[in-house]
Amino acid sequence: MERNPLRRQLQMMRKSFFDQGYLDDQFVQLEELQDEANPNFVEEVVTLYYRDSSRLILSIEQALERKPFDFNKLDAYMHQFKGSSSSIGAKKVKAESTLFREYCKSGNKEGCMRCFQQLKKEYATLRKKLEAYFQLARQAGPMETACRPK
């Protein structure tokens, strides 16, 4: 049992991400790649993800405003976005990406737009949660970001 209250809090926070479906097993895979030589690997990957995917979000936003609607282009952007989200274990974001691509394939403009709004919400929610998590990890001490899976 973790005696340090900050570490306990960190563990609980982490567990909630999995329990509530924000993250999947791929996140654990990232944690397992972290070690003394690469102590901030997970945070580095997540930071890279948010930096890289924010430009994709912008591209998609612009494409959604264009007339005529280019479903192929949208699908291509979302394919990239889905790939990155999947690589960090962003479960809900990935699910929204899949849904968006289905709307693209069926040429459903309304569906795309609704879905994209939901996707942005999930994306932002996850970002806040992970930022809080990494911040707490820094406070709790260097050993804590790589917790062994339940």
Partner 1 sequence: MAADSEFHVLAVDDSIIDRKLIERLLKTSSFQVTTVDSGSKALEFLGLHEDDGIINTNTPSVSPNNHQEVEVNLVITDYCMPGMTGYDLLKKIKESSSLKNIPVVIMSSENVPSRISRCLEEGAEEFLLKPVRLSDLNKLRPHMLKTKIKDHQEPEKQDKEEKQQQPQSNNNNRKAMEEGISTEKIRPRLNGITAMV
Residues in the site for partner 1, rule: CB under 8 A?
24-26, 29-30, 32-33, 38, 41, 44-45, 48-49, 52, 79-80, 82-84, 86-88
Q: How far is the CB of 107 from partner 1 (least distance, A)?
A: 20
Q: Which is nearer to partner 1, 32 or 61 (CB)?
A: 32
Q: Which is nearer to partner 1, 30 or 93 (CB)?
A: 30
Q: How far is the CB of 87 from partner 1 (least distance, A)?
A: 5
Helices H / strands E in the chain, number of each? 6, 0
Whole-number Å distance between alpha carbons of 130 and 17: 9
Q: Which is nearer to partner 1, 90 or 112 (CB)?
A: 90
Q: How far is the CB of 8 from partner 1 (least distance, A)?
A: 26
Which residue type occupies 123?
A: Y
Task: Please state the φ and ψ torsions of residue 34, each to the nearest 5 degrees.
Answer: -90, 140
Q: Are 104 and 75 in contact (CB under 8 A)?
A: yes
Q: What is the 3-state secondary structure (H, E, C) of 105-131?
A: HCCCHHHHHHHHHHHHHHHHHHHHHHH
Q: How far is the CB of 49 from partner 1 (least distance, A)?
A: 5
